[in-house]
Amino acid sequence: MTARLSNLGWAPRAALLATFLPVLAECGPSRNEFPPACPGTAIIGNAADLNVYRPDSPGRDLTDLVLHARIVGMRGSCTEGDRSNRLAVTVSVLAELTRGPAMQGRETDVPIFVAVVEGDNILDKYVYLMHASFPSNVDRVTLTPGETSIVLPVTGARSGAAYTIVAGFQLTPSQTPTGPRS
């Protein structure tokens, strides 16, 4: 199609472009409007990695490792909600899971959280299980547990940028860096 358009004179090309301008005008925010400010995202450093060891193992040897998981990214989008004082946010977490030598079977569930914070205050938190299935002869998978939809209140004085969406693994006390060691 490019070769045909280049063979046209300037008048037919201008007419063709004018035909598509109303369609292009529908994309993006209205005239003199900016898109809404979205919240920032962060991966909690201490909760970005998860190591699961056999419960009966006294140490933390590589041969006792059942699963190593790490959060490798987050992505999201935001749009104005159905009312002007709401911001609709969609977030997905990307995790990489590695099957350890002590894993029995090829499936596991890993707890992940997504939370909304404003400053140091946790406003809301969603915890869910991400199911992982390792195909035969594959010991590492990268997956997302799906999208989390969040609706945030916004005002003229407080935009979506006032919030931060954070993610991590829901760790037990024995899995946290400052938790008890066995």
d(CA 85, CA 160): 10
pLDDT of residue 101: 93
CATH architecture designation of domain 40-50+69-96+105-169: Sandwich (2.60)
pLDDT of residue 4: 45
**What are the residues whose beta carbons fall under 8 Å from the beta carbon of 89, sequence distance 6 or more?**
38, 39, 76, 77, 78, 149, 150, 151, 152, 160, 165
pLDDT of residue 14: 52
Cα atoms in the 13 Å half-sphere on the side-chain side of 120: 0
Block residue for tokens 């358009």: 5
pLDDT of residue 26: 46
pLDDT band at 56 (very low <50, low <70, confident <90, very high): confident
Higher pLDDT, residue 95 or 17: 95
pLDDT (tens digit, 9 = 90+) per residue, 112-149? 999 999 989 999 999 999 999 999 999 999 998 889 99
Over residues 79-105, mean pLDDT: 89
Written as six digits, the tokens of 93 are 């977490």
Q: What is the dihedral of CA 134, 139, 142, 147, to 10 degrees?
A: 30
pLDDT of residue 37: 84
Would the pLDDT of 94 be above 50?
Answer: yes
Over residues 150-175, mean pLDDT: 88
Would the pLDDT of 16 be above 50?
Answer: no
pLDDT band at 2 (very low <50, low <70, confident <90, very high): very low
Quote the mean pLDDT of the chain: 80
Would the pLDDT of 177 be above 80?
Answer: no
Our measurement of the distance from residue 121's CA atom to the centroid of its chain's CA atoms, rounded to an integer in Å, reads 20
Written as six digits, the tokens of 30 are 């209205």
